[in-house]
Structure 1
Amino acid sequence: MRFFVSLCLLFSLVRITAQDMNGQLVDSMGIPVEGAYIFNHRSQAHAHSDENGFFKISQTIPGDTLRMGALGFKKIVVQITEQQTTKRVTWVFDEAAFELNEVVIRPTIDALKVMTEIDLQTQPVRSSQEILQKVPGLIIGQHAGGGKAEQLFLRGFDIDHGTDIAISVDGLPVNLVSHAHGQGYADLHFVIPETIKNIDFGKGPYNPDKGNFATAGYVGFKTKDVLGQNTLQLEYGDFGFNRTLGLFNFVNTKSNKAYMATELVRFDGPYVSPQNFSRWNLFGKYTARLVDDSSLSATLSHFTSTWDASGQIPQRAVDNGTISRFGAIDDTEGGQTSRSNLNLSYHKLLGEQTLLKANTYFSQYNFELFSNFTFFLEDAENGDQIKQRETRNLFGMNVGIDKKISREQKDIGLQSGVGFRTDAIDNNELSRTINRRTTLENIQLGDVSETNLFGYLNLEFPLGNLLLAPGFRVDHFSFGYVNTLSTTYDNQTVDKILFSPKLNIIYHADKDVQFFLKSGMGFHSNDSRVSVARSGETILPRAYGVDVGTLFRPHSKLLINTAIWYLLSEQEFVYVGDAGIVEPSGKSRRYGLDFGLRYQLTDWLFMNTDLTYTKARAIEEPQGNDFIPLAPDFTFVGGFNLTNLGKFSGGLRYRYLDDRPANEDNSIIAEGYLVFDANLNYQWSKNFSIGVSIENLFDTEWNETQFATTSRLQNEPTPINEIHFTPGTPFFVKTNLRYTF
């Protein structure tokens, strides 16, 4: 009897003293470690660190053993003291070789971003083209040799330059609304690849905090707070390629960090008429960690780019020998662009379970592009060259609250936020020109204004292993356009409000298995010029989506994700080659399968692959005439990455894009391709490394971008509708020398 009473008293004591414990995890440079797992051996309780490295683990008593781990760091195993249960303790992770068995599937809506975390650990980003290709299933194509934003393909979308994917950097939006060249134009070339810390991504319109353009998905890049080392790097390659990179820490203390990065890239390309591409980037970031559990960061960046592009060429001109694959019909195409950004971010811990996140930003942007898609179709004497130009000021603010509400030993999550964005665009122009010098006719010329006010709310209710996450978003848009070609002043305006509900259900069986059902409504906005012309009707076309899938680890060294999905779009955007613009079309539906795999074959060899199958069709067109131009139905990307094999690292990557329809009746085919790239690096001393990379390893003849376009050459009596393309780069070698200090 005495033993039974003592046992009861012991259990009562444990129940009384067991409590929530708060901590923070940082790396050796004092940078918070996000996504680390914390596990209590006695209670089996577990937790994950947030973006500031903070965590709270329940049911903890003195004497408990905690195990903590994160990708790329050594495990921490500690026995908790009584003092540590009463105040927040900071633990420091030491770096270690990457191990896939350290991956923990987090019980969140965006658990799939662990795939990009693995890819960044095993194969760091080394070029601007690689930045977006780190997103599983995303394929890019460049049709101006690096000057224009890339053409994007994801989930059966030819997204053009960004119409159906929302892209941001540290909360700064990249997509540009009502752009002179295309709605949602997303030029990411102001980002220096070596400054990227991690990549957040999601597919489908399921996140309440993601608004305009987040239909096929979203990508959020986060830059580093501090550099691991100062770096000087020189790269040299075929076709006049050279790149100079500098990365410099100025301040690196526990409370203050500051660095600068600069990059200069030049490239002529394999073309008969050199593209004379030149891009200069400058990026600086300062971060202060304040004594009141808050942090303040400021980033300032500028980039400018100029190029002479050979542009798209007709297949018939190559077939009949008029030009080579790398020739040009109009070699006076090209352009110039620049963007300057200021972004201020503030994070503040309000109590133990409430985080305030805010940022405000300003961008000044200039763009001028000369293109010739149809050659002599409209003007047999002067040709059909067009100019697209604009000057833009973009500013806005985001304010969000992440809060945990404790109810009956459960933490209910609440994410809410408000914000705004304003674009003021002067002289948004489309004109007919000759040789980039003489303007023949102004087709469109005007000033655009567009403001988006928004708010969102998301709740996360834990029900055992189930997480129920309902949410909604509300957006108010104000569009304005002043046509300066009009003989009288005419300021056209229109307003629109849109509600977007979401519902996501996550079943987190354990740290190795997660099932999900995601659903929601999203949207992309129309160009302001279209919006005011339609008096606000169908100017915010919706997308309705649902995903069902799983993320699981059948083996400690293997991680797999699968999903079947469906997306209905109220409106498509179709590329119009003769005008060089994108115009709205009808309804469409897409459904398909995603599959991704990450596998650690040995301590130093990793494999990754992502494939997508999609069926995309227009709804309101008759069968056989309902194909969506350039919508890919099958993509397959992946590779093998070599890490920490003595002094060697490197990788082999491949990307496959299947044949796809180039027009609505599938009578013109955009040919697919399979291209391999490779790189190998050698660390010959503590401070010096050398490397070589090869694009198009097997010298495949491939077309990087393709369009079905009606055009006429100068000696042709009638127009012809056929494939116009930009040739993919042939076998291309680059070498690099890196010095770190």
Structure 2
Amino acid sequence: MKTYHYSVLFSALALSWQSTDVAADPLSAHMMEQIIIKGRQTDLLGQASSASEGVIGNAEIRDRPLLRTGEILEFIPGMVVTQHSGSGKANQYFLRGFNLDHGTDFSTFVDGMPVNMRSHGHGQGYTDLSFILPELISQIDYQKGAYHANSGDFSAAGSARFSVQNRTANQVSLALGQDNYRRLVAKGSSQLGRGNVLAAAELQQYDGPWTDIDEDVDKLNGVLRYSQPLASGQLSVTAMAYNNSWNAADQIPARAVASGQIDRLGSLDTTVGGNSDRYSLSTNWYSDAWQANAYVITSEMDLWSNFTYFLTDSVNGDQFEQVDNRRIYGGQLSRHWHHRLGQFALEHVAGVALRYDDIDEVGLYNTRLRQRLNTVRSDRITQGSVGLYSQSDIQLTADWTAHLGLRYDYMDVAVNSALTTANSGDASDDILSLKAGISYQFAPNWQGYINAGQGFHSNDARGATTVADPVTLARIAPVDLLVKSNGAELGLRFFDYTSFNASVALWYLQVDSELLYVGDAGNNEPSRSTERYGVELAAYYWLGSNWSLDVELAFTRSRFTEQEEGEGNFVDGSLPLVASMGLIYKADNSWQASLRLRHFGKRTLDSFNEQRSDTTTVLNAGYQYDWQQWQLALDLLNILDSTDNDIDYFYASRLQGEPAEGEEDRHSHPIEPRTIRAKLTYRF
């Protein structure tokens, strides 16, 4: 690592703080508490700097039935969360015209800890949210677009920050459902001296609806947290533990279903699946003026997949194993202050973020029945980064506020390739990102926004040092380590303080390149520069104290901006339409019922737009009844028993007996059939 870069950045940050005599903002902690309680009913006029950011409260999360933990991100308007494999694998995410894969251009944090994995064995930015207990989330702060200086790597499309509760209700819940679904959750907190101890545990098992395999999910989660006032702020120390194993029902080709070889819930390779674990220790301290966090994370994953069956190896099949074993160290320090400069009121946040990934092994192996046949590539990687950022809000008048942000990121990597020494090496890169915006509150209930900003994502470290294809040894060009994006947004927000909250955003996003390391193949997949634009609408209506209605719509157009011979200009995997609608009725705190509709339109499956998926529509329902210390909850998922697909791809694969070149076909993973789950909770 080039330590002088880090020293210079730390020195600059320290000087900037020492040279400013400021007073702490007395409203920070108050606003945080208010947002936690009210969520989307909180007034963000004059607080938010764009129309596409928001806060999701704990009460909203409790009200919505979830099939998978990762669907928590669907609270973000326009976000789609799907799955193309087993329940223990990171979800597939879609937002703003991106097929984000497993998180490449959307950054996620839990209590300041990054969830996205750099240079991961399965995919760049791999975001597995399975270690989160939804019952412990206090709020989710989300931002779309790269208009905020605190957003760094993987944030071209946006970011989400999960906060964990310091105190929680004491309760035990047992949920049972079809296909041997079982989930036991116990959580509670109590006072200890000047502080508070929170403990929670989750045990989940599930076989799934698949006809050829038992998914055999065996997930265990644990959280232990201590918090107390310290100095003028609040301190918390948190330990998290997660372990999971599963079998997977991967995507399957349409021709295998049409011929009767398998049914739509069947599998062609019944031995794929995985094991994953994550352990972390983190500490956070915040006051009105300062915020600091530090963390250490250990993570391991073994994942077996088979997407092409016998296309490469006609004897053993194309099953492969991806391995990732790492430790992550990091932290962040920021200061918040405000002052006056003449007639202008200024508010600032300045901070520094550090992260270091020590990856013992990231590997790709050809396998049969989960037994290794040979090594495609195996590497050891160290990857470090530092980000320095500053964000300022300038109150120009009572109605006009300017927003200015600046961020500098430096990253360096070292790759030690076990097989091909030519692919070993060092690489480094840095990037400067500018952010700017202005907001105008032209009426007590209305505020308009104009934003522009630059973001970036990192490419896999192996892609930045690889010069020889790991299989053919043919010479290939390394890719850039950091890739810039440029975005802009025009937005409008309305809040009537009683029953209605709405926002609309017209946005644009350009990405220089979407070059990614492909973990499934062990090499680089080049892509052209792209541009996307669209419009998003989110509206929330509270009809008195009993009824609430929400509607979210997103329309997107995604195109390549560079021509390539033999290719079209449609962005593969892009999603042009997302719609979500929810209706909730609450009867005087004794019972409530809810309906939620999720729809996403036909996805582009090839660059000519000749292959498109069908639309997908799912309707879920929930019911809760409270009596004294008991609560009974019923979730009916996929009420209409839709046979739509969670996700579709179009590529070549080969079944046994087919020609050596295989056959191009649509490969899909179906949504799970109608299922009912019942949960009984005892509060004490």
Fold equivalence (TM over 0.5): yes
Deviation at 1:441, TM superposition (A): 1.6
Structure 1 SS opposite 2:532 = strand
Deviation at 1:312, TM superposition (A): 1.3
Write the mapping of 1:143-182 to structure 2, written as runs, cut at 5 A: 143-182=84-123
1:66 matched to which residue of 2?
A: none
C-alpha distance in 1 between matches for 2:271 and 2:58: 43
User: Is this contact kept in 1: 2:275–2:301, CA < 8 A?
Assistant: yes
1:377 matched to which residue of 2?
A: 311
Going from structure 1 to structure 2, the CA distance change for 1:378 and 1:101 (only over 3 Å counts) comes to: closer
1:327 matched to which residue of 2?
A: 266
Structure 1 SS opposite 2:464 = helix
1:463 matched to which residue of 2?
A: 396
User: Is this contact kept in 2: 1:105–1:111, CA < 8 A?
Assistant: no
The partner residue of 1:108 within 15, 35, 48 is 48
Write the mapping of 1:18-167 to structure 2, written as runs, cut at 5 A: 49-50=27-28, 52-53=29-30, 70=34, 103=43, 105-109=45-49, 112-114=52-54, 116-117=56-57, 120=60, 123=63, 128-167=69-108
Structure 1 SS opposite 2:276 = strand
C-alpha distance in 1 between matches for 2:502 and 2:58: 12
2:279 matched to which residue of 1?
A: 340
Write the mapping of 1:104-503 to structure 2, written as runs, cut at 5 A: 105-109=45-49, 112-114=52-54, 116-117=56-57, 120=60, 123=63, 128-227=69-168, 229-251=169-191, 255-272=194-211, 273-290=213-230, 292-349=231-288, 355-408=289-342, 410-437=344-371, 439-464=372-397, 465-486=399-420, 491-503=424-436
Report the AA paired with residue 345 of structure 2.
D
Unaligned runs of 5+ in 2: 1-22, 468-476
C-alpha distance in 1 between matches for 2:261 and 2:651: 18
C-alpha distance in 2 between matches for 1:257 and 1:511: 40
Going from structure 1 to structure 2, the CA distance change for 1:612 and 1:336 (only over 3 Å counts) comes to: same
Going from structure 1 to structure 2, the CA distance change for 1:581 and 1:166 (only over 3 Å counts) comes to: farther
C-alpha distance in 1 between matches for 2:273 and 2:517: 19
C-alpha distance in 2 between matches for 1:581 and 1:646: 56
Give the structure, 1 or 2, with the largest relative contact order (CA under 8 Å, sep 6 or more): 2
C-alpha distance in 2 between matches for 1:579 and 1:515: 46
User: Is this contact kept in 1: 2:605–2:611, CA < 8 A?
Assistant: yes
1:14 matched to which residue of 2?
A: none
C-alpha distance in 2 between matches for 1:732 and 1:389: 33
User: Is this contact kept in 2: 1:71–1:102, CA < 8 A?
Assistant: yes
Deviation at 1:660, TM superposition (A): 1.5
Going from structure 1 to structure 2, the CA distance change for 1:633 and 1:681 (only over 3 Å counts) comes to: same
| Residue 592 of structure 1 pairs with residue 530 of structure 2 | no
Per-residue CA deviations over 1:337-389 (Å, capped at 9, x if unaligned) read 0000111111244xxxxx11110100000000000010000111110000000
Per-residue CA deviations over 1:714-736 (Å, capped at 9, x if unaligned) read 12124111111111100010000
Taking structure 1 as the reference length, what is the TM-score of the superposition? 0.83
Write the mapping of 1:528-677 to structure 2, written as runs, cut at 5 A: 528-533=461-466, 538-553=480-495, 556-573=498-515, 579=521, 583-621=525-563, 625-677=568-620
2:13 matched to which residue of 1?
A: none
Taking structure 2 as the reference length, what is the TM-score of the superposition? 0.90
User: Is this contact kept in 2: 1:482–1:489, CA < 8 A?
Assistant: no
Aligned length: 649
Deviation at 1:130, TM superposition (A): 3.4
Structure 1 SS opposite 2:482 = coil
Report the AA paired with residue 735 of structure 1.
A
1:352 matched to which residue of 2?
A: none
C-alpha distance in 1 between matches for 2:157 and 2:138: 24
User: Is this contact kept in 1: 2:221–2:243, CA < 8 A?
Assistant: yes
Q: Indicate the RMSD between aligned Cα atoms, in angstroms.
A: 2.5
| Residue 517 of structure 1 pairs with residue 450 of structure 2 | yes
User: Is this contact kept in 2: 1:122–1:643, CA < 8 A?
Assistant: no
1:715 matched to which residue of 2?
A: 657
Deviation at 1:627, TM superposition (A): 1.0
Deviation at 1:129, TM superposition (A): 3.5
Runs of 4+ in structure 1 off by over 4 angstroms are 21-24, 69-73, 98-102, 110-115, 124-127, 488-491, 534-537, 573-578
Deviation at 1:605, TM superposition (A): 1.0
Going from structure 1 to structure 2, the CA distance change for 1:343 and 1:578 (only over 3 Å counts) comes to: closer
Structure number with greater Rg is 1
C-alpha distance in 2 between matches for 1:496 and 1:536: 13
1:44 matched to which residue of 2?
A: none
1:13 matched to which residue of 2?
A: none
1:739 matched to which residue of 2?
A: 682
C-alpha distance in 2 between matches for 1:261 and 1:592: 41
Deviation at 1:541, TM superposition (A): 1.1
C-alpha distance in 2 between matches for 1:543 and 1:455: 18
| Residue 703 of structure 1 pairs with residue 637 of structure 2 | no
Which deviates more from structure 2 when the two are superposed, residues 173-182 or residues 617-626?
Answer: 617-626
Structure 2 SS opposite 1:600 = strand
Structure 2 SS opposite 1:620 = coil
Deviation at 1:453, TM superposition (A): 1.0
C-alpha distance in 2 between matches for 1:101 and 1:134: 14
Deviation at 1:284, TM superposition (A): 1.4
User: Is this contact kept in 2: 1:614–1:634, CA < 8 A?
Assistant: yes
Going from structure 1 to structure 2, the CA distance change for 1:363 and 1:576 (only over 3 Å counts) comes to: closer
Which deviates more from structure 2 when the two are superposed, residues 158-167 or residues 491-500?
Answer: 491-500
User: Is this contact kept in 1: 2:55–2:141, CA < 8 A?
Assistant: no
C-alpha distance in 1 between matches for 2:430 and 2:573: 31
C-alpha distance in 1 between matches for 2:646 and 2:290: 44
Going from structure 1 to structure 2, the CA distance change for 1:221 and 1:497 (only over 3 Å counts) comes to: same
Deviation at 1:103, TM superposition (A): 3.6
Deviation at 1:410, TM superposition (A): 4.8
User: Is this contact kept in 1: 2:379–2:417, CA < 8 A?
Assistant: yes
Report the AA paired with residue 204 of structure 1.
G
Deviation at 1:540, TM superposition (A): 1.0
Structure 2 SS opposite 1:160 = coil
Report the AA paired with residue 212 of structure 1.
D
Report the AA paired with residue 400 of structure 2.
L
Deviation at 1:611, TM superposition (A): 0.8
2:629 matched to which residue of 1?
A: 687
Structure 2 SS opposite 1:530 = helix
Q: Percent identity?
A: 29
Deviation at 1:501, TM superposition (A): 0.7
Report the AA paired with residue 625 of structure 2.
Y
Which deviates more from structure 2 when the two are superposed, residues 476-485 or residues 104-113?
Answer: 104-113
